[in-house]
Every structure is written in structure tokens, then in C-alpha cells.
Amino acid sequence: MATCWGLRSCCGARRRALWPAARHLRPRAGRSEPGGARTRSYGLSSELLRTDSFVGGRWLPAAAAFPVHDPASGAALGMVADCGVPEARAAVRAAHEAFCSWRGVSVKERSVLLRKWHDLMIQNKEDLAQIITAESGKPLKEAHGEILYSAHFLEWFSEEARRIYGDIIYTSAKDRRSLVLKQPMGVAAIITPWNFPSAMITRKVGAALAAGCTVVVKPAEDTPFSALALAQLANQAGIPPGVYNVIPCSRSKAKEVGEALCTDPLVSKISFTGSTATGKILLQHAAKSVKRVSMELGGLAPFIVFDSANVDQAVAGAMASKFRNTGQTCVCSNRFLVQKGIHDLFVKKFAEAMQKNLHVGNGFEERTTQGPLINEKAVEKVERHVSDAVSKGATVVTGGKRHQYGRNFFEPTLLSNVTRDMLCSQEETFGPLAPVLKFDTEEEAIAIANAADVGLAGYFYSQDPAQIWRVAEQLEVGMVGVNEGIISSVECPFGGVKQSGLGREGSKYGIEEYLEVKYVCYGGL
């Protein structure tokens, strides 16, 4: 049986309650759960701290369990059900059974249920944010932001549920009418990463449920608690059994569970957020039975500062775009391209802002803006990018090494004299490293920015209106920030071009990813 401990949300020292408690395991009495599962919980968030899988509206233990660790300290937070292929298949069957009735639920009713789910997230936002910080290390203030962002997808798609339209087409045949129906695709398999453990789920699931699909969610090994807390709230909101299912699993089982989900004949749609490498594997699985796919993959965002830019605005944008979630967002700026006339001033001001405003520490500490990286492998990648750049001639302006706070922490780092042949110019770092390349002309900047096989987000700073049009149109990315470092919003389409993915999430376009277009030729009129 999976167990959980130490996550507490209601005590005097609220911000520090969660992590210290994890070190001192003091189990409270266990409770029986509806459906026969028994979960032992030890904190006041027991309702939200679930450790079993959630399938067909029931909490189900698995034969094995895997530990979830606090990335700030390495300490175990809890043991979670380690689902394998049989559990994945059972979850798909439950979702398929539920689809047969959920697709017929009125759009108004689907909308009301999604809205209730949203309201419950807002009511529980403090506990949900603490869960995110505990399992991902993200500073608590950012975790609060993620919960609002995450809940807003449910709200947005509760509204979009009532705006699914078809068409009537008049053709040259006078005795016919051609109708276009929009119908839910069916069961969607949803595979999500650890860097936004809540929002990456609701951005998909909100759209899927609004469209009339049902889902099986496989969250990342590092962050299953957020997905399970969402299940608890979905259940409380009255989302029918089998509509939202969660099957956590350990990294050692991710491959087989992923394959089982992506090849199951009862699954119609695969929606994945994660690395481009994993996305390619899932696309191969999907090809076998020609399933619909949405892929939100990695990026290598350029951040261009032209001579005409307002340098203070550019530095503020650079700080926001680079260091959110300690540099672990897919839209994080990965390469800073700065025109030669403004280069030295930008580098100076950027370094000053980093030294003044970035504070490394445990995400539960008030002052922390930079939490740990997710694991040792992530730290090693940042270290490798820094040492490769320095060995090829880059200069460390600030930072440059592991942070003394702990093994998963890295100093916010600024490098200048960076060139295109360095790893940090070519690969997503996914950490607190800002490499600056100097350029001469607009054409050169565009060429460097577009010299990538991915294209998720891109940013640039300029006060020249003609340049703004030119550059916005030429950047080969799915999303552009002009004089703006934070661009995500539920109302706007999120997604990339090239190997950054397929499809869009959020916005009015997001729901289309879960709807089939059916043409009905109505003759004999």
C-alpha cells in the first residue's frame, strides 16, 4: 500500500510546515476510503494528499510503490502507487466506458462541472501550492501563480465548452445540405512533465473534458502529488467516475506505460508535454494506429536586444523570462543575442539585476526566488554547458558553479563572449544559465535565432515599429514576446513550430485538438 507523510498545510509556521515535517514522520491513524482503498495520511491536507492511483472514480493501490523526493533536500516525501501496464489498460477501459456517457452530457453540464472543479482549486489554492513546492522545489510564490494559471484553464474551458460550433455549407447541388459536426475524439492519454505539475495537466484536461473526451493522465515520476490532488478535487466537483483517471508510475515503468497508452486501440488521442526526444518516441507509437496527437515539446528561445531597445525594460524582461522556475520552463530564454551598440550596458545591468534580485534557497523560504533544480542530472547539464562555454572562450560575469545551499542548487549564471558553437547556444539548458552572444545586424540576429531545429518561444526588445513587424514575422517560433518576457496566458494559443511540437493549447484553438470534424451530406431535399 502506498503511504504519504509529512505534508501539512495548517500550522503557525505555514510556509515551513511542509518540508520540516517530512523529516519527522509522525503518522496519524489511517482511514478507510470509499471503494475499499486505504490511504494513510499524516497531515492536515490529507484529503488532497493522495498516493494511490485514481481509476474509474476509485482510489486504487498498485502492487508496488515508488518514492517521491523533495528536490531541495533529497528527503523522501512519500510513497506513491507505481502503476504498470495492467493498471494503464484498466484505466483506459474505465475512461472508455465513461466516454460513452460523458460524450452525451450536455455542454452546459460539462461547463458547470469544470467550473466547480476550478472553484475547488481556488478554495484549496494554498494547499495545492504547497504540494507543488514540496515535490518540484519551485518557490512558493511561483507555485501560487501556477495554481491560479492552472485553475484558469478549467475556468476558460468551462466557458469554451459552450462555444463548440459546426457549420452548414451550401454547395452546387440544390437538393443537398452539407453539415459539419464537431465531435469528441474519445479517450485521451495525457503524459505530462514535472516543471508545471498542475498547469500542464489542466491545460490539456480542461480542453479534453470540455470537448466531451475522457482522459488517463500519467504524471511525471517527480511530481505525482499534484495530479492526484486534482483527482480528489475533480471527484469532489462531481466529475463522473472514469472521466479523469490518474496512473502515476516510476521512471523505470514510464516507457512501457507510455507505450501501452499510446498503442491501446481504445485510446484515440495522445497529448504530451515534455522533451522532444520523448515526443518522437510517442509519435512512433501513435503512428502504429494513426492516433491524433498534440505535442508540446522543448525550445531554445532566443532573446534579442536591439540597439533601439529600452535597456531597463529589456533587463526586466530577461530576468522574468530566464529565471522563472530557476530556468526550468520550456519558454525560458536560452540564448541572449545583444546588438553591439547596447551590449556592454545590457550585460552590466543584467548582472547587477541578477546579483540584487535572485536569492537561492528552499522554495518554502520567503526570500527564495531560485529553488533547486529538479535533480542531479539537471545540475550536471548546467555544469556541462558552463564548462563547455568557458573552455571555448566564454567569460563568467556572475555565478558559474554549484551553489553551496545544496547538491541540486546552481548559482544564477551570466556568461558573455558566447559563440554559436557552444553547447549552451545549441541545446536547451533548462537551468539558471544566461549566455550572451554579441551581434552586428538585424539579419545576423534573425539568422542566429532561426538556426535551431526547434521553435517554441522567441523574445525581442526594440522601439522601432518597422523592425518590430519585420522581426516578429521572421522569427521561426510559435510564440513571440515583443518588449515582453512573460507571454503565457490561458486566452492565447500556446505551442511551437519545427521540432517544438504539434498543435496548440489554451485559447479558442485548444479545444479543437480534442474534436473531430465530421462532414454529413444531407441529400434528397
**Number of other residues whose CB lies within 10 A of the CB of residue 504:** 21
Figure out which of the listed residues 31, 141, 163, 255 binds ligand NAP, where binding follows CB under 6 A. Answer: 255
The single residue among 458, 501, 503, 506 that binds ligand NAP, judged by CB under 6 A, is 501
Binding region for ligand NAP (CB under 6 A) out of 26-34, 51-59, 121-129, 191-199: 191-199
Applying CB under 6 A, does 458 fall inside the site for ligand NAP?
Answer: no
Q: Do residues 324 and 138 lie in contact, with contact meaning Cβ atoms separated by under 8 Å?
A: no
Q: Does 153 bind ligand NAP (CB under 6 A)?
A: no
Nearest distance in Å: CB 520, ligand NAP: 35
- Give me the DSSP letters along 256-269: HHHHHHHH-TTEEE
Query: Total number of residues binding ligand NAP (CB under 6 A)?
Result: 29
Active site residue 10: no
- Known catalytic residue at 296: yes
| Binding segment toward ligand NAP, per CB under 6 A, in 215-223, 263-271, 357-365, 405-413 | 215-223
Contact of 197 with 134, CB cutoff 8 Å: no
- 193 binds ligand NAP per the rule CB under 6 A: yes
487 contributes a contact to ligand NAP by CB under 6 A: no
**226 lies in the binding site for ligand NAP (CB under 6 A):** no
3-class state of residue 337 by DSSP: strand
- C-beta atoms surrounding 391 within 10 Å: 9
Whole-number minimum distance, CB 249 to ligand NAP, in Å? 7
Phi, then psi, of 355 in degrees rounded to 5: -65, -35
Kindly state whether residue 64 participates in binding ligand NAP, applying the rule CB under 6 A. Answer: no
Q: Which is nearer to ligand NAP, 78 or 258 (CB)?
A: 258
Q: Are strands 167-169 and 177-184 parallel, antiparallel or unpaired?
A: antiparallel
Output the smallest distance, CB 239 to ligand NAP, in A.
22
Q: How long, in residues, is the chain?
A: 525
330 binds ligand NAP (CB under 6 A): yes
Q: Count H helices, E strands: the chain?
A: 15, 24
Q: Is 202 in the site for ligand NAP (CB under 6 A)?
A: no
Q: What is the CA radius of gyration of the chain?
A: 24
Rule CB under 6 A: choose which of 124, 150, 214, 278 binds ligand NAP: 278
Minimum distance from residue 284 beta carbon to ligand NAP (Å): 10
Other C-beta atoms within 10 Å of 471: how many? Answer: 21
By the rule CB under 6 A, 275 interacts with ligand NAP:
yes
Given a contact cutoff of 8 angstroms between Cβ atoms, the answer to whether 300 and 427 are in contact is yes
The strand ranges marked E within 247-364 are: 267-273, 292-296, 301-305, 333-339
Sheet holding 267-273, edge to edge: 58-60, 53-55, 244-246, 214-218, 187-191, 267-273, 292-296, 501-502
- 281, containing H or E segment: helix 276-288
| Cell triple for 247 | 496512473
Q: Which residue is nearest to ligand NAP (CB)?
A: 258
Q: Measuring CA to CA, which residue among 184, 212, 188, 182 is closest to residue 201?
A: 188
Give the residue, chosen from 1, 107, 179, 254, that forms a contact with ligand NAP under the rule CB under 6 A: 254
Q: Which of 330, 332, 411, 505 is catalytic?
A: 330
HSE on the CB side for 386, CA within 13 Å? 24
Q: Of the ranges 79-87, 118-126, 253-261, 340-348, which one interacts with ligand NAP (CB under 6 A)?
A: 253-261
- Distance between CA atoms of 416 and 453, rounded to whole angstroms? 24
- 258 touching ligand NAP, by CB under 6 A: yes
Residue 251 sits in the site that holds ligand NAP (CB under 6 A): yes
Least Cβ distance, residue 219 to ligand NAP (angstroms):
6
223 with 136: CB under 8 angstroms? yes
Give me the least distance between CB of 519 and ligand NAP, in Å please: 31
- Min dist CB 221 to ligand NAP, Å, is 3
Residue 221, interface with ligand NAP (CB under 6 A)? yes
Q: Which three cell numbers stand for residue 185?
A: 475524439
Among 456, 471, 511, 515, binds ligand NAP (CB under 6 A): 456
Binding residues vs ligand NAP (CB under 6 A)? 191-195, 200, 218, 220-222, 251, 254-255, 258, 273-275, 278, 281, 296-299, 330, 428, 430, 456, 496, 501
Q: List active site positions.
A: 296, 330
